């Protein structure tokens, strides 16, 4: 059962919920309210281990101030900006969540409760996008473990006795910074397909720095649309020139799918290695950390008027050498409303 009852509760309490920040399409209206929920059980054949789940509430507000001069907050010569606020938590567990003894050579129990403040900037043609977020988070809280333990008393889920062996025994302030840059490179359309009329290829780069996670990743993002995307691309190709000048009825339900493989260089992962000044017998030694990780993300987003629904699948290659599996997978659901 895992976190399923908690998800139902949150869906009732927040009926206007949403789109994950990493999705490239700009929100269709000025403001956005959303909720994102991750869990192993949302993908077939998974169980509690590694990144076992998380949730994030997000509020995005369009900036009303127009700034022509380039600056840190206004990186493009002419851009549209959004202020982002979020609150959430991530949970990490080893393979055996019921063992109350010290588990060596496996991912330790760990959690991260955070609030963020940041901004998103698009250039005037929505061809480029820059997202920046500052995380004000804490590791070592007892709350995530207590919640998971209570939920596991429902149904046939195994008890979670191991949260007393978490990386940090009490709350530790763990701030972090995330910078994400995306750019549309190539747009093909309009295609004679019943599902995809446009295909867009772009680049994705992300830097994480701070006490929680230090890494750099880069890759591509291939998106398919049943509607004309708002963002332009540096290069374009139209295989059916006659279609270019023909008017088409706007889609009521807009579908976007994407596939994004990335390569990540890992400098320090606190969820595995603990904080530099805190000794923990559960931490993974530095020489056992895989410094190059492949991350794959794919999913779809449905947009109808102001409402949005997304399903996102994610996979990561082995993060430390003694993990028995080659890949860890999980999935997430997002619900949201723009206004």
To the nearest 10 degrees (0 to 180), the angle between helices 4-13 and 143-151 is 110
Q: Is 157 helix (H, G, I), strand (E, B) or coil?
A: coil
Residue 4: pLDDT over 90? no
CA-CA distance, 149 to 171, in Å (whole number)? 19
The pairing of strands 79-93 and 292-304 is: unpaired
- Which of 122-136, 159-173, 254-268 bottoms out in mean pLDDT, i.e. has the lowest? 159-173
Q: How confident is the model at residue 23 (pLDDT cuts 50, 70, 90)?
A: low
Between CA 57 and CA 334 the distance in angstroms is: 10
Exposed / middle / buried, residue 296 (Cβ in 10 Å: 0-12, 13-18, 19+): middle
Q: Using one digit for the tens of pLDDT, what is the confidence trace for 56-65?
A: 999 999 888 7
pLDDT at residue 68, as a whole number: 62
121 bridge partner residues: 81, 130
Which of 28-32, 48-52, 68-72, 208-212 is the least confident region?
68-72
Which helix (H) or strand (E) segment is 309 a member of? strand 307-317
User: How many whole angstroms separate alpha carbon 141 and alpha carbon 147?
Assistant: 11
Q: What is the pLDDT of residues 203-235, one digit of tens each?
A: 999 999 999 999 999 999 999 999 888 888 888
The enclosing domain of 192 has a CATH number of: 2.40.128.140
Give yes or no for residue 247 having a pLDDT over 70: no
DSSP codes of every residue in 248-289: -PPPSEEEEEEEEEEEEEEEEEHHHH--TT---TTSPPGGGB
**What DSSP letter does each residue of 66-101 carry, written as one string?**
---S--SS--SSSEEEEEEEEEEEEEEE-S-TT--S
**Omega within 30 of 0 (cis) for the link into 200:** no
Q: What are phi and psi of 50, to 5 degrees?
A: 55, -130
Coil vs helix vs strand at 13: helix
Q: How many domains are contained in the chain?
A: 1
Output the pLDDT for position 60. Answer: 93
Phi first, then psi: what are they for 287, rounded to 5°? Answer: -70, -10
Length of the chain: 339
Q: What's residue 13's pLDDT? A: 34
Among the residue ranges 42-46, 122-126, 323-327, the one predicted with the least confidence is 42-46
Residues with Cβ within 8 Å of 193's Cβ and at least 6 positions away in sequence, in order, are none
More confident residue, 125 or 291: 291
Residue with tokens 């080893």: 94
The range of the structural domain enclosing residue 324 comes to 4-338
Q: What is the pLDDT of residue 17?
A: 33
Rounded to 5°, angle at Cα 130 from 126 and 135? 140
Measured between alpha carbons, how far is 60 from 140 in angstroms, rounded to an integer? 28
pLDDT of 12 above 50: no
Within the chain, where are the H helices? 4-13, 143-151, 241-244, 270-273
Q: Which two tokens stand for residue 105?
A: 């050579």
143-200 pLDDT, tens digit each: 887 877 777 766 666 777 778 888 888 899 999 999 999 999 999 988 877 788 899 9
SS3 label, residue 7? helix
Give the three-class secondary structure for 192. coil
DSSP letter, residue 40: G
Closest CA to 268 of 304, 216, 222, 229: 216
């Amino acid at each position: 059962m895992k976190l399923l009852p908690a998800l139902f509760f949150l869906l009732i309490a927040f009926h206007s919920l949403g789109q994950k920040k990493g999705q490239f399409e700009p929100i269709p209206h000025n403001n956005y309210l959303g909720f994102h929920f991750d869990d192993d059980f949302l993908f077939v054949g998974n169980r509690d281990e590694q990144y076992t789940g998380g949730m994030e509430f997000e509020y995005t507000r369009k900036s009303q101030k127009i700034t022509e001069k380039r600056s840190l907050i206004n990186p493009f010569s002419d851009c549209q900006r959004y202020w982002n606020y979020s609150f959430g938590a991530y949970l990490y567990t080893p393979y055996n969540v019921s063992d109350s003894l010290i588990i060596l050579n496996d991912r330790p129990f760990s959690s991260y409760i955070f609030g963020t403040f940041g901004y998103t900037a698009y250039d005037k043609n929505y061809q480029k996008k820059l997202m920046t977020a500052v995380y004000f988070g804490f590791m070592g809280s007892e709350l995530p473990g207590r919640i998971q333990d209570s939920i596991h008393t429902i149904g046939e889920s195994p008890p979670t006795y191991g949260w007393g062996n978490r990386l940090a025994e009490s709350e530790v302030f763990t701030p972090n910074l995330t910078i994400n840059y995306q750019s549309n490179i190539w747009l093909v359309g309009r295609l004679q397909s019943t599902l995809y009329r446009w295909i867009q290829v772009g680049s994705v780069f992300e830097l994480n720095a701070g006490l929680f996670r230090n890494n750099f990743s880069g890759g591509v993002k291939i998106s398919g649309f049943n509607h004309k995307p708002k963002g332009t691309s540096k290069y374009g190709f139209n295989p059916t020139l006659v279609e270019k000048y023909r008017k088409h009825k706007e889609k009521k339900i807009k579908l976007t799918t994407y596939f994004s493989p990335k390569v990540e260089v890992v400098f320090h992962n606190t969820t595995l290695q603990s904080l530099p000044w805190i000794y923990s017998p559960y931490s993974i030694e530095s020489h056992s950390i895989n410094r190059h990780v492949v991350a794959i993300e794919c999913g779809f987003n449905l947009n109808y008027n102001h409402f949005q629904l997304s399903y996102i699948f994610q996979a990561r290659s082995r993060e430390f050498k003694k993990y028995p599996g080659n890949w860890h997978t999980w999935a997430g659901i997002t619900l949201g409303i723009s206004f």
